[in-house]
């Protein structure tokens, strides 16, 4: 007797937005004055333009460009009119005095300015604002990735040298950059981070491993106030890329002149303890954390906007930094937009407010399931929908637990034939249609096309739907015995059950039910279980899960976070114990098998290799091992990332790379976004110098 399987027609009868659940799903099901939209009928994704924009602007908008200010450019600097009165009253220096000797030049892709306006955004809570603003909208490290994630380019550092075979890195800082309170930013601030934050165990109890080479913490020194050097015991082949991916911003987040008053190395110990007590803290470092908190308006920043109205104010507002150190090619100090305001709503309300045209530019909390409604209401809402390229490898990555605590399950999940059978037993075509409007592609968790690490062979490995082959493979493994319900039996006689564990609800949970249905037809008692995030994490760490589910992100440059390609740390869903072994250099966890060990060895060699091509070649061997063993199972990838852009917003590119590593949308220079009250037509194109 075959197990009962829900009909796929259930999922074809309603649009994916309804599958998402919540308020927006109910809006679709109830009509809300709109026609119901089902993939392949009313909404045809093949007719959607790659860049959708308000009428009258048919030109693709490229990314911004970055350059340096040259001494022969004699045009005087200009500032936002909001600062004119303060300068006249002597409350602010002139704009020329506020800018560095060599400001970074942002060439807007569409037009110069204008100044003014408020950028409205929506967030799900204060923590959401913190994550988005401090790590996405403000991308101000020593260096950064370009808009397409292909090259590391200057930022606070104008240039750098790599010496001693990759053991030494010297960065030259932009001269005359100032914190938002006007105090100079110099190498002393980076030394403060190194000596008084990174090396102070009260503030940093555990130093991240990427600062340690050859068992020794890197050394940092400053020959002068505009030069900083990093020294490692062994070569670090991807240090510069790590700086561009976030570490370079961490180093320049700590203004010494302000934070030293709350640190034991500088402040009088008794006075510091008394100040901490008065502020409600038992220890000085708690007081330090509080003063460093993102909600502290007194904390100087190097960002384009600095917080002015923190929670519980509504909106939470960031205002223009008068000392921001970038200009456009005409010498106008950036940013163009006066302020960024965040309103807090539930996720479902955010989607509805976006449909009504209440957002300026936003991708966070804008889901692909909402695409039909977003496209239908563009004119009414006064916005366009941009589709940016995803830097991830696959949505809904299925990670079988190779370190399962049940020895019978561990042996089964470690058999590559079983994992391959699970993969070819997936109907990815239906997943793509039901969940993603056929906009994606069936694929494994390989780096996307366009990446220098791209592997077509791994991308397409075992993605063709072939349930007959899957059944033959399972039978050939000795799993041919079944119970009266058609469920296969394990070697010890128990029914073969797989719990597909996730923290995600709505549409993703419905898509996982389709996965469970496919595996059920193979004779596997598959069940989707949704856990709270904390319980999910605990089960991974304790090796109690069968198959964990997450979305692969940022595989475009996989050397930064290689966890999808081998067990990299204890958070590696498919093998947390082997990840613990690698992360601890063999002092914890258990030793992995030879194929996994080979990947780990290759990655250690990559970390020491400064030749980019040799790094690519070595990583391709890791990809070949993944193709052969299929340690994790991908589903659908190459999905567009949606961004809503108001019709009066300027300088937002049509199509770029989107990802966490490159700090999207920070990689598109939001400091040059502009709000044009003139309407939908560009004022004039920014001219190149």
In this predicted structure, what is the pLDDT of residue 410?
A: 97
**Per-residue CA distances from 449 to 366, 392, 459 (Å):** 24, 10, 9
Residue with tokens 């479902």: 348
In this predicted structure, what is the pLDDT of residue 504?
A: 77
User: 112 in helix, strand or coil?
Assistant: coil
* 491 found inside a domain: yes
Between CA 194 and CA 242 the distance in angstroms is 16
Alpha helices in 543-662 (DSSP H): 576-583, 594-607, 612-629
Single pTM value for the model: 0.89
- Residues 608 and 495 grouped into a single domain: yes
Ramachandran category for residue 185: left, alpha or beta (phi over 0 → left; psi -120 to 50 → alpha): beta
Whichever domain contains 446, its CATH number is: 3.10.105.10
In this predicted structure, what is the pLDDT of residue 47?
A: 46
Last residue of a domain, one of 604, 619, 637: 637
Domain assignment of residue 581, given as a range: 397-637
* 442 found inside a domain: yes
Between CA 371 and CA 184 the distance in angstroms is 46
* 609 found inside a domain: yes
In this predicted structure, what is the pLDDT of residue 75?
A: 66
Last residue of a domain, one of 245, 273, 292: 292
Between CA 97 and CA 612 the distance in angstroms is 41
3-state secondary structure 525-574: EEEEEECCHHHHHHHHHCCCCCEEEECCCCCCCCCCCHHHCCCCCCCCCC
* 420 found inside a domain: yes
Mean pLDDT per 10-residue section of the chain, whose length is 689 residues: 36 40 41 32 43 49 93 81 96 96 96 96 92 86 94 97 97 98 98 98 93 95 97 97 92 97 96 96 97 96 96 94 97 97 90 89 91 93 93 90 97 98 98 93 94 96 98 97 96 96 83 96 97 93 96 88 95 96 95 98 96 97 98 95 95 92 94 86 45
* 23 found inside a domain: no
* 500 found inside a domain: yes
* 227 found inside a domain: no
In this predicted structure, what is the pLDDT of residue 597?
A: 98
In this predicted structure, what is the pLDDT of residue 76?
A: 85
In this predicted structure, what is the pLDDT of residue 310?
A: 95
In this predicted structure, what is the pLDDT of residue 18?
A: 42
Q: How many domains does the chain have?
A: 2
* 449 found inside a domain: yes
Q: Which residues pair with 501 in a beta bridge?
A: 529, 548
């Amino acid at each position: 007797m075959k197990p009962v399987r829900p009909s796929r027609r259930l999922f074809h009868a309603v649009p994916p937005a309804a599958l998402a659940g919540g308020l927006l799903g109910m809006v679709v099901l109830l009509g809300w004055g709109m026609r119901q939209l089902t993939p392949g009928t009313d909404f045809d994704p093949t007719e959607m333009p790659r860049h959708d924009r308000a009428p009258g602007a048919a030109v693709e908008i490229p990314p911004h460009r970055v350059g340096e200010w040259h001494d022969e450019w004699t045009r005087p600097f200009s500032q936002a009119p909001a600062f004119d009165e303060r300068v006249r009253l002597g409350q602010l220096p002139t704009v020329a005095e506020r800018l560095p000797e060599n400001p970074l030049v942002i060439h807007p892709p569409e037009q110069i300015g204008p100044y003014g306006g408020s950028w409205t955004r929506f967030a799900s809570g204060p923590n959401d604002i913190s994550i988005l603003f401090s790590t996405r909208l403000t991308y101000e490290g020593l260096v950064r990735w370009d808009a397409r994630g292909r090259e590391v380019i200057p930022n606070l550092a104008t240039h750098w040298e790599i010496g001693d075979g990759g053991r030494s890195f010297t960065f030259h800082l932009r001269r005359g950059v100032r914190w938002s309170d006007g105090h100079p930013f110099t190498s002393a601030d980076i030394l403060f981070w190194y000596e008084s934050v990174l090396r102070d165990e009260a503030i940093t109890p555990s130093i991240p491993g990427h600062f340690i080479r050859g068992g020794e913490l890197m050394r940092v020194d400053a020959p002068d106030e505009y030069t900083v050097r990093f020294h490692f015991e062994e070569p670090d082949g991807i240090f510069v890329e790590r700086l561009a991916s976030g570490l370079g911003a961490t180093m320049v987040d700590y203004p010494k002149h302000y934070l030293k008053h709350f640190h034991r190395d500088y402040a009088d110990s008794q006075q510091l303890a008394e100040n901490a007590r008065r502020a409600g803290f038992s220890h000085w470092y708690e007081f330090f954390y509080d003063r460093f908190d993102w909600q502290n308006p007194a904390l100087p920043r190097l960002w384009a906007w600095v917080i002015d109205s923190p929670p519980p104010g509504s909106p939470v507002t960031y205002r223009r930094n008068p000392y921001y150190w970038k200009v456009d090619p005409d010498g106008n100090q950036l940013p163009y937009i006066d302020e960024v305001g965040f309103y807090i709503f539930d996720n479902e309300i955010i989607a509805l407010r976006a449909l009504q045209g209440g957002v300026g530019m936003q991708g966070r909390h804008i889901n692909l399931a909402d695409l039909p409604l977003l496209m239908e209401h563009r004119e009414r809402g006064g916005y366009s929908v941009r589709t940016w390229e995803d830097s991830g490898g696959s949505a809904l990555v299925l990670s079988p637990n190779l370190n399962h605590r049940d020895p019978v399950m561990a042996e089964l999940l470690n058999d590559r034939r079983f994992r391959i059978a699970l993969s070819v037993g997936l109907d990815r075509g239906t997943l793509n249609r039901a969940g993603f409007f056929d906009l994606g592609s069936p694929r494994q968790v390989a780096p996307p096309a366009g990446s220098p690490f791209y592997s077509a062979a791994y991308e397409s490995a075992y993605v063709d739907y072939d349930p007959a082959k899957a059944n033959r493979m399972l039978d050939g493994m000795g799993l041919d015995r079944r119970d009266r319900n058609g469920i296969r039996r394990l070697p010890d006689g128990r029914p073969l059950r797989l719990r597909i564990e996730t923290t995600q609800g709505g549409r993703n949970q419905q898509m996982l039910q389709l996965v469970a249905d496919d595996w059920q037809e193979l004779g596997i008692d598959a069940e989707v279980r949704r856990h709270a995030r904390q319980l999910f994490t605990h089960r991974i760490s304790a090796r109690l899960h069968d198959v964990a589910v997450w979305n692969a992100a940022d595989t475009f440059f996989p050397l930064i976070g290689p966890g999808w390609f081998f067990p990299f740390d204890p958070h590696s869903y498919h093998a947390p114990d082997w990840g613990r072994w690698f992360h601890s250099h063999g002092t914890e966890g258990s030793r992995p098998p030879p194929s996994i060990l080979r990947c780990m060895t290759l990655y250690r060699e990559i970390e020491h290799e400064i030749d980019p091509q040799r790094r690519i070649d070595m990583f391709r061997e890791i990809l070949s091992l993944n193709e052969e063993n299929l340690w994790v199972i991908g589903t659908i990838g190459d999905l567009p990332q949606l961004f809503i852009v108001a019709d009066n917003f300027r300088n937002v590119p049509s199509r770029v790379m989107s990802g966490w590593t490159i700090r999207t949308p920070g990689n598109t220079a939001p400091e040059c976004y502009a709000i044009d009250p003139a309407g939908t037509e560009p004022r004039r194109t920014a001219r190149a110098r």
